[in-house]
Structure 1
Amino acid sequence: MSTTAVLAPAAASADGSPRGVLELVISERGGRSIASRQFHEGALRVLRPHYLDDSGQVCYVMVNPGGAYLGADLYVIDVEVGDGARLLLTTQSATKIYRTPGSFAEQRMSLRLGEGAQLELAPDQLIAYREASYRQRTHITVRPSSSLVMAEVVTPGWSPDGASFRYEELRLRNEIHVQTPDGTGLLALDNLLIRPPLNDVTGMGFMEGCSHLGSLVVVDPRVDQALADELHALASRHDAYTGVSLTACVGGTTGLVLRSLSNSTEELNRLLGACTALLRDRWHGQAPLNLRKY
């Protein structure tokens, strides 16, 4: 596993157009967040909004009716959370990457947060199956008072021969910028490359012998070394190898990236759930997430 990558040219559907497009703009109206713009095309859409508590935060669930990403598929997601608005964005089920002969599958996501905006991105796990190659690019722009929490679990899919890893490659890239009155500054460029060895041998040289990866990205002016240490201590109570890194500070905003390695999707979900529960309670007075999709 490497944390740097040079991305190949973008994938697209056979006719050059995206397989699915989703656009969502969330605005604050009278203490409640609502969708002021909603557009979908192709194999992406959202279910009707939900309000899980009395905070005014709206929850939208993304759906891919096609069920999986295939070779040369391109999905484009554009989300804007306006000043003071609050959004929880999740998926209906796991994102599955099947065989991608000829060209990789790709998801491009653009996230923009206004002043005082809150965005929680909590998709179900990403599952890469045999002979899958996948690119995920997320471009994020926040304001100094924005609050962003993104959690994700990556796991290898089932293989007929029982091998642990049969996908070809996963490249996940997060580019985070802070927009201030003086301009826009780069807060973090987070590249993750997972390329399993051809001989299917796992060990200390590849993900420390683990099969699953959990990531938590947090951007908020309240992020500091004390919080990073607290989240690391919380993660250490779980059956996983965990590391936490702080970003630079831009416009008074700092970020952190937490990575955990384990052999269990459930264990990583518990770990990330415990970390996000701490942040939800401390920063927003909200209870832990309980999405109960199944």
Structure 2
Amino acid sequence: MPHSTSAAGLSELELAADDAIAPSPLPQVARQWCASIDIELAQRAGRTALMRARHKGPLRIQRLFYPEANGCAHVYLLHPPGGLVVGDELTISLRAAAGAHGLLTTPSAGKIYTVNGLRHSDAATTQTQSVRLMLDAGSVCEWLPQETIVFNGANARLNTRVDATADAKFCLWDIVCLGRPASQERFTEGRVEQILQVSVDHRPVLIERNRIDGRDPIMQAPWGLKGAGSFGTLVASVTLNRDQVDLLLETLHERWPDAKWGLTQKKQLFIARYLGASAAECRFGFIAIWQSLRPIMLGCEALEPRIWNT
């Protein structure tokens, strides 16, 4: 059966076939909302003061609180949007000057929302959170945010970096919840890349990189997440002896027997890990660990930020 030919010499049937197999253009990223804050804390008149808080976009400090007699500043970071959508970047930078002591936390869980209709291989779809802590001589930093909830179909990159002097002290944790268990949403699509770097006197002492794909065997494999929907890592610059580690591990198993806990002393770093079904369980466990570590690390009791109880 004859058919007509276009001016370019291609038949209408050939043009239709080309249209059928041609890849559809990727949806355009409508917006990119970058937010950042650059903080400096310094010791002034017996307590830690806020010397700088330069911000861009919706990322602010609510205010500084001083609930402790040692002058430690409790800093609440507020991100009013509450989460990251396609292409968003959230950057937090902190410098603790000599002798400063800051405890930083967030009022609620962070959220990384679903990326709809975009290929995860496209860098423009990445939702990035970057945290850098720079600690001068004799300073103390406690980075204790609430968990990050990664929605099914998100494309998250979570970077945490610590640059400390040998006599600085720090305790930090990173808690990730995959999907939304309360809504029966599992993480079956999407990607999470998690990077943790710790350097002391410009020498790397810990580098970890995890990459989790919702379709990858790592989600269920016994050498991977074993079907768990939440995981977390806590790192502190403190040294525990074997008896202290065993006692702490025994306490964790007694209080949260269904979770998998791992405690490791790696030279000058104490590392705790959680794998289980609940980000809240991980957070409560990490709080218990922090409460045990703080008297050893700093010689003072742990006082929970009031915002955790609201």
**TM beyond 0.5:** yes
Report the equivalent of 1:260: 274
Q: Is the 8 A contact 2:149 2:180 kept in 1?
A: no
Give the alignment partner of residue 153 of structure 1, picking from 175, 190, 214. 175
Q: Deviation string for 1:35-63 (max 9, x for gaps)?
A: 11111110211101111221100011111
- Give the number of the structure whose residues are more often helix, by fraction: 2
Given the superposition, is the C-alpha separation of residues 223 and 24 from structure 1 closer, same or farther in structure 2, using an over 3 Å criterion?
farther
Q: Is the 8 A contact 1:276 1:288 kept in 2?
A: no
Query: What number of residue pairs does the alignment pair up?
Result: 271
Q: Could you tell me which runs of 5 or more consecutive residues in structure 2 were left unpaired when the two chains were aligned.
A: 1-28, 119-124
Give the alignment partner of residue 124 of structure 1, picking from 115, 122, 146. 146
Q: Deviation string for 1:118-155 (max 9, x for gaps)?
A: 11111111101121010011221111111110123211
* Aligned partner of residue 106 in structure 1, secondary structure: strand
Given the superposition, is the C-alpha separation of residues 115 and 207 from structure 1 closer, same or farther in structure 2, using an over 3 Å criterion?
same
* Aligned partner of residue 83 in structure 1, secondary structure: coil
Shift of 1:206: 4.1
Q: Deviation string for 1:194-228 (max 9, x for gaps)?
A: 223369974635412321112211124x4565654
Report the equivalent of 1:61: 76
Q: Is the 8 A contact 2:152 2:186 kept in 1?
A: no
Bigger shift: residues 132-141 or 153-162: 153-162
Give the alignment partner of residue 97 of structure 2, picking from 82, 101, 121. 82
Report the equivalent of 2:261: 242
What pairs with 1:182-221 in structure 2 (closer than 5 Å)? 184-197=202-215, 202=220, 204=222, 206-220=224-238
- Amino acid of the structure 1 residue aligned with 2:212: I
Q: Is the 8 A contact 2:97 2:136 kept in 1?
A: yes
Identity of aligned residues (%): 21
Report the equivalent of 2:292: 278
- Amino acid of the structure 2 residue aligned with 1:244: L
Q: Could you tell me which runs of 5 or more consecutive residues in structure 1 were left unpaired when the two chains were aligned.
A: 1-12
Bigger shift: residues 109-118 or 191-200: 191-200
User: d(CA) in 2 for partners of 1:85 and 1:26?
Assistant: 6
Q: Is the 8 A contact 1:79 1:111 kept in 2?
A: yes
Shift of 1:232: 3.1
Q: Does 1:48 align with 2:63?
A: yes
Q: Deviation string for 1:153-200 (max 9, x for gaps)?
A: 211233898342245111111111111xxxx21111021222233699
Structure number with greater CO (CA < 8 Å, separation at least 6) is 1
Bigger shift: residues 152-161 or 126-135: 152-161
Report the equivalent of 1:4: none
Structure index of larger Rg: 2
User: d(CA) in 2 for partners of 1:224 and 1:159?
Assistant: 37
Shift of 1:266: 2.7
Report the equivalent of 2:164: 142
Given the superposition, is the C-alpha separation of residues 201 and 171 from structure 1 closer, same or farther in structure 2, using an over 3 Å criterion?
closer
- TM-score, length-scaled by structure 2: 0.79
Given the superposition, is the C-alpha separation of residues 228 and 170 from structure 1 closer, same or farther in structure 2, using an over 3 Å criterion?
farther
Given the superposition, is the C-alpha separation of residues 117 and 226 from structure 1 closer, same or farther in structure 2, using an over 3 Å criterion?
farther
